[in-house]
Structure 1
């Protein structure tokens, strides 16, 4: 992390937001609105279904499960569409679909209509979640860590605001909650159609401008459908990293499952649940930028992820220690006793939130770094799908462990198991890092396989170029795509090329930006001054 980036992060979240350009700021507002609208409605949906509509518990579970299944199961489709069609149209479509879905939930009275609305709600999330992250990663450029730190802070602010607004509106009627959330998403859809640029980032075709294929929000050139999925599924580094991190999502989800259950067990009330969410949200909103700066300066990306996972596992140790010492409450205890009983739960919430603040920006940046830019959306889709499976499996196993611990008289059992999961995830990511599988990949482009890229004319242009130069204008500041061959002059040894010694490689041009490297690949140049087939490029 550069000194400038660290300075922006240490200045705090408001200053960090002001440092971004308009597209990134709009994406941050997008995330705030999405989470506010979602958490305004979803916590109260089960009560509406079972109370107002008097549906049996099985149907309530079915309707809620359909939403989760349609979202987690279709993340890969949404990410692929973002790569193929461009991020902006997929984001807009997702917000529009969710507006319709929320309005349907407000007026639907039959089970088929409720199931359809729930499925649309999940499908909308599967569309815009990978697309927003891919757009943000491309638009932020070298500032991905900073962008995702701000993104997480805005998302947590929405999680904090949404339930409070929903509580006020639900006091009137649940239909008002749905109508308000639907109108919010409709307004967000219109705002993004009008204000979100097609994208100005560098895509797979090189430096791109607005509307150019490969730009941040513009249509890309990724392999479509099954070919794109095969490319991502064959990426073992991405798959291993995704599986190693899946457990962390199960741990983080305990804020919504294990901690509320423990609060109700020891206090027989709901006040502590609200307190857990408030503490978690405020911590992230206030501290995310500075925590990211500190972790980046002290550890760097991979080590920050590993240490964050260790901390995430340690978050459950206070609960494991306190569980045998606390009895199950049958009535709310006095206020002073409640404070003492809630300390282990609040301690776990604080450590979980801090661990997530450490991990998230570097985790999202790592997903981008593990493959070519033209498949960013597809990779986020696959990553989110595996994370969703991790949450589902974790909820099942942690719920089973909670029941088992109570039945056999070992209340610490589930918390010790969750701590072990954190340690296991940390060990897995550490092993990937030590093996070099988390190293950033060199830029690549599907153009390299095109007929034009391999044409003799492209090679002749390079051969005819002056010694030590390239047809592409140099862009200093980005590393060379690979190390030089033994016995050759490093291509980026000096900013000003000197004449080549007889029988040696000519010095290469200054370090190139990613777009120039992509054009090198399109022109057929191999690494370290070699032509395809292994022949060395000699001075002419």
Structure 2
């Protein structure tokens, strides 16, 4: 990348990480801290955890469309202002309904697609994959930091302090957009509205994209549902006070690199992308099986470690599979639909997971997650079996196979 591209991509990756850090910090906290708020029930805590995903899913495509008409910067700044407002509402809330409203407003700042569109506008075709990878890496880093920083901030100032920090991160993001991101080059020509509608219909009818979109829905359903249960396990099984949960998250996330990195090397250099993808699903299934088993300290530690290996590998792999499954002209539409399914999964995992937790308990919720992941694995395995030994051939061609 040239100097301008490096500056642009670095700034947008920083912006994306600020925003995702603010969203992710509450993930390990709500299940244990929201019980202090008036009106808290497991079902409403689950809704508070997942509601941002609903507003994200509903507004991703409309705000992307708006950014094509009025420009990327106004939409991004407006989205960050909404994100800051939602964070402020949640920080000042004395009841769980106030947190739910704040989380919904946070999600209404649905600028993920617009930020990625700006990355595409500001980079050359041959550098775009690298640029997207940098932004993707920033999301992974934000997720890791959030699991540690969130509990530390909450231990100092409670849940409201986390939301106030999120306000500050949103304002820093606006400063990055206004003063660090270089002035936008003229956007590349966009498809006409009718053509874009055809692309959406084509994406919805594509069996491979449907399989990938279903996969990311299940992955984020499982993530949200699991974090309704995991904090309680740390308290009850590991006898850890909620202020000390960050120690567990830091350990298992860092140790998960021992599994994720070899999987990526096996897929890319070993020419086994299908096998590595199946392994990621198997590890996630095994992790959930261990968490469902009768609670023991060793099983919880091992289950969390395997969970983060499987989740982090699949999370990093799925967007690449989507982008390589469609022609460049339809890539933006396909990724927009993919993001919509991702956020719908987050909403369903939080909202439905909270209801299941309230009425049937943690065991039933984890069993549902396990069933969904196993169903995903069963859908993927026939494709891999039919391909036989084609992994190495497709890898040599530089193509990523469909799971």
Shorter-chain TM range is: 0.7 to 0.9
| Greater per-residue helix proportion | 2
- Give the corresponding residue for 1:184: 169
Provide the alpha-carbon RMSD of the alignment: 4.6
* 1:249 to 2:225 alignment: no
Decide whether the 8 Å contact of 1:24 with 1:140 is kept in 2.
no
Decide whether the 8 Å contact of 1:296 with 1:304 is kept in 2.
yes
- Give the corresponding residue for 1:295: 267
* 1:231 to 2:185 alignment: no
- Give the corresponding residue for 1:388: 343
Give the one of 375, 378, 392 matched to 1:424.
378
Decide whether the 8 Å contact of 1:310 with 1:426 is kept in 2.
no
- Give the corresponding residue for 1:129: 112
Q: How does 1:110-509 map to 2 (within 5 A)?
A: 116-124=101-109, 127-136=110-119, 139=123, 141-142=125-126, 146-170=130-154, 171-172=156-157, 174-198=159-183, 210-211=185-186, 213-214=187-188, 220-224=189-193, 228-235=196-203, 236-237=205-206, 238-253=209-224, 255-257=226-228, 259-260=230-231, 263=234, 266-267=237-238, 269=240, 274-283=246-255, 292-299=264-271, 304=273, 307-317=276-286, 320=289, 326=294, 341-373=296-328, 376-391=331-346, 396=352, 403=360, 417=371, 420-427=374-381, 430=384
Larger radius of gyration: 1
| Whole-Å separation in 2 of the counterparts to 1:348 and 1:59 | 26
Decide whether the 8 Å contact of 2:9 with 2:134 is kept in 1.
no
TM-score by length of 1: 0.57
Give the one of 19, 26, 42 matched to 1:34.
19
| Whole-Å separation in 1 of the counterparts to 2:354 and 2:163 | 32
1:69-127 C-alpha deviation (Å, 9 max, x unpaired) = 21233233234334555544433332222122222333356888655533221111xx2
Local SS of the residue matching 2:39: coil
| Whole-Å separation in 2 of the counterparts to 1:110 and 1:244 | 34
1:258-316 C-alpha deviation (Å, 9 max, x unpaired) = 555555564454579545522353257798677645522223xxx52663243323333
| Whole-Å separation in 2 of the counterparts to 1:349 and 1:427 | 24
The runs of 5 or more residues in structure 1 that have no matched partner are: 1-15, 200-209, 215-219, 329-340, 441-478, 480-540
Decide whether the 8 Å contact of 1:405 with 1:414 is kept in 2.
no
Summarize the Cα distance change of 1:135–1:432 in structure 2 as closer, same or farther, 3 Å threshold: farther
Decide whether the 8 Å contact of 1:150 with 1:288 is kept in 2.
no
Decide whether the 8 Å contact of 1:149 with 1:289 is kept in 2.
no
- Structure with the bigger RCO (C-alpha within 8 Å, sep 6+) is 2
